[in-house]
Structure 1
Amino acid sequence: MKRRKFLTAGGLGLAASVVAAPAIAQSMPEVRWRLAASWPKALDTLYGGCEYFCKRVAEITDNRFQIQPFAAGEIVPGLQVLDAVSNGTVEIGNTALYYYWGKNPAFTFGTALPFGLNTRQHISWLQWGGGQDLVNDLLKEQNIIGIPTGSTGAQMGGWFRKEIKSMADLQGLKFRVGGFAGTIIAKVGGVPQQIAGGDIYPALEKGTIDAAEWVGPYDDEKLGFVKVAKFYYYPGWWEGTGQGHNIMNLDKWNALPKHYRAAVESASRDAFTWVTGKYDALNPPALKRLLVAGAILKPFPQDVLEGCYSAAGEIYADLARSNPHFGKMYASLSAYRNESLAWMQVAELSFDSFMMRMRTRT
Structure 2
Amino acid sequence: MDRRSFLTKAALGTAATGLAAPALAQENPKITWRMTSSFPKSLATLWGNTQELGRRISEATNGNFTIQPFAAGELVGGLQAADAVADGTVEAAHTVGYYYWGKDPAWALGAAVPFGLSARGMNAWHYFGGGIDMYNAFMAKQKLFALPGGNTGTQMGGWFRKEINTLEDLKGLKMRIGGFAGKIVERLGVVPQQIAGGDIYAALEKGTIDAVEFTSPADDEKLGFVKVAPYYYYPGWWEGGPTVHFMFNLDKWNALPANYQSLLRSICQSIDANMLQQYDWNNPPALMRLMAEGAQLRPFSPEIMQACYETTNKVYDEIEATNPEFAKIWASIKDFRKQWYLWQQVAEYNYDTFMMVQQRKNTL
TM above 0.5: yes
Q: Following superposition of structure 1 onto structure 2, how do residues 154-303 of structure 1 map, counting pairs within 5 Å?
A: 154-303=154-303
1:313 aligned to 2:300?
no
> What amino acid maps onto 1:206 in structure 2?
K
Secondary structure class of the residue paired with 1:247: strand
2-side partners of 1:159 and 1:342: how far apart?
A: 31
2:47 matches 1:39: no
* Greater alpha carbon shift after TM alignment, 2-11 vs 297-306: 2-11
1:155/1:239 contact within 8 Å kept: yes
Give 1:162 deviation, angstroms. Answer: 1.0
3-state SS of paired residue (1:111): coil
SS at match of 2:345: helix
* Rounded Cα–Cα distance in structure 1 between residues aligned with 2:69 and 2:207: 36
Contact 1:233 1:299 survives alignment (8 Å): yes
In structure 1, what is the Cα distance between the partners aligned to 2:324 and 2:288? Answer: 45
Give the partner amino acid of 2:180.
Answer: F
Q: CA deviation at 1:259?
A: 1.2
CA–CA distance in 1 between the matches of 2:130 and 2:323? 18
Question: Match for residue 56 of structure 1?
Answer: 56
Q: Distance in 2 between matches of 1:55 and 1:199?
A: 28
Structure 1: which amino acid aligns with 2:316? Y
- The 5-angstrom pairing of residues 61-210 of structure 1 reads 61-210=61-210
Aligned to 1:345: 345
Q: C-alpha displacement at 1:202, in angstroms?
A: 2.7
Shift of 1:223: 1.2
Counterpart code for 2:47:
Y
Which deviates more from structure 2 when the two are superposed, residues 352-361 or residues 334-343? 352-361
TM-score normalized with structure 2 length: 0.96
Q: CA RMSD in A?
A: 1.4
Q: Deviations over 1:144-169 (max 9, x none)?
A: 11110111111000011111111111
Is contact 1:53–1:270 with CA below 8 Å preserved after alignment?
Answer: no
Distance 1:40 1:348 in 2: 35
Report the alpha carbon displacement of residue 56 of structure 1 after superposing the two structures with TM: 1.3
Name the amino acid aligned to 1:301: S
CA contact (8 A) 1:37 1:70 kept: yes
1:36/1:72 contact within 8 Å kept: yes
Q: Alpha carbons of 1:254 and 1:191: their partners in 2 closer, same or farther (altered >3 Å)?
A: same
Question: What are structure 2's unaligned runs of at least 5 residues?
Answer: none
Q: Secondary structure at the match of 2:237?
A: coil
TM superposition shift of 1:295 = 1.0
- Aligned equivalents of 1:67, 1:199: Cα separation in 2: 26
SS in 1 for 2:241: coil
Q: Decide whether the 8 Å contact of 2:184 with 2:308 is kept in 1.
A: yes
Q: How many Å separate the matches in 2 of 1:39 and 1:198? A: 8
Counterpart secondary structure, 1:297: strand
The 4+ residue runs of structure 1 with deviation greater than 6 A are: none
Q: Is the 8 A contact 1:85 1:144 kept in 2?
A: yes
Does the Cα contact within 8 Å between 2:41 and 2:71 map onto a contact in 1?
A: yes
Q: Is the deviation greater in 323-332 or in 8-17?
A: 8-17
Tell me whether 1:354 sits opposite 2:340 in the alignment: no
**Structure 2 Cα separation of the partners of residues 345 and 52 of structure 1:** 35
Per the TM alignment, residue 271 of structure 1 is displaced from its structure 2 partner at its CA by: 0.9
1:3 shift after superposition: 4.0
Q: Does the 8 A contact of 2:91 with 2:248 survive in 1?
A: yes
Distance 2:258 2:39 in 1: 29
Cα deviation, 1:117-148, whole Å, max 9, x if unaligned, reads: 11000111111112221210111011111110
Q: What one-letter code is carried by the residue in structure 2 that aligns with 1:14?
A: T
Query: C-alpha distance in 2, partners of 1:275/1:242?
Result: 11
Query: Partner of 1:325 in structure 2?
Result: 325
Within 2, Cα distance between the matches of 1:94 and 1:77?
12
Q: CA deviation at 1:32?
A: 1.3
Report how far residue 18 of structure 1 moved.
2.6
Moved more, 189-198 or 316-325: 189-198
Q: Deviations over 1:66-124 (max 9, x none)?
A: 11111111111111111111111111111001101011111111110111011000111
- 2 CA distance for matches of 1:216 and 1:20? 49
Q: TM-score, normalised by structure 1?
A: 0.97
Residue 175 of structure 2 aligns with an amino acid whose one-letter code is F
Give the secondary structure class of the aligned counterpart of 1:45: helix
Quick check: 84-93 or 16-25, which moved more?
A: 16-25
